[in-house]
Amino acid sequence: MPRIWSETIAAHRDAVRDATLDATAALVDSRGLTGLTMSEVARQSGIGRATLYKYFPDIESILAAWHERQVSEHLRQLAAVSETTAPAERLEAVLRAYVAQSGRRRGHSGDLAAMPHQGEHVTRAHAHLNEFITALIGEAAARGGARDDIPAAELAAYCLHALTASAAMPSEAAVDRLVGVTLAGLRRAP
């Protein structure tokens, strides 16, 4: 197959997939999960039902693909924050970005937020996030900006679990206090 043809096919597949995931998220956001059908997704995305079934066998597979795309984007955003921040501020900037992502998730409809967060992609994402935060804590500890009396992996678990609570905070001030307490727990003991 000529290269230009295969590139065109790949671009078409990506466009169909993106249109499907975007349409599904919009439908769930406006109507909820109950009664969502493949026909509605096809109509909303402008894709024929037969084509849609070539890509996804059912609604659950579309929702899983949408969630995987969201998780990948969140990890990419955290990496970008890390890459564009000075080393002395990197850990705090990434943890604040993580909390900001949690805040955006608070804005999802109840149905979409309740979508099961299980599957291999979630396990991989959690492992990647944990390794990423562990490395940032190790880097900060080497500079003297974080404690080194507790293994970085344990501190990463502490941060991620503590900051997950930000989704339940009633205000931005409460979220900011939670981030402050979490960061204080990472500082070297005097």
Please write the tens of the pLDDT for every residue from 108-122. Answer: 445 555 454 567 878
Specify the pLDDT at position 106.
43
Specify the pLDDT at position 34.
81
Specify the pLDDT at position 124.
86
Q: What is the CATH number of the domain that holds 188?
A: 1.10.357.10
59-83 and 3-31 are packed helices; what angle lies between their axes, rounded to 10 degrees? 100
Banded pLDDT at 5 (limits 50, 70, 90): low
113 and 169 co-located in one domain: yes
CA–CA separation, 21 vs 19, rounded Å? 6
117 and 182 co-located in one domain: yes
71 and 37 co-located in one domain: no
Residues in the chain: 190
Banded pLDDT at 7 (limits 50, 70, 90): confident
- Mean pLDDT in the chain? 86
74 and 40 co-located in one domain: no
Measured CA to CA in angstroms, residue 58 lies from 61, 68, 156, 184 at distances of 6, 16, 37, 46
Measured CA to CA in angstroms, residue 113 lies from 6, 75, 94, 103, 110 at distances of 36, 18, 23, 12, 5
Domain count, the chain: 2
- For 2, the domain range is 1-57
Closest by alpha carbon to 80, among 93, 67, 70, 66? 93
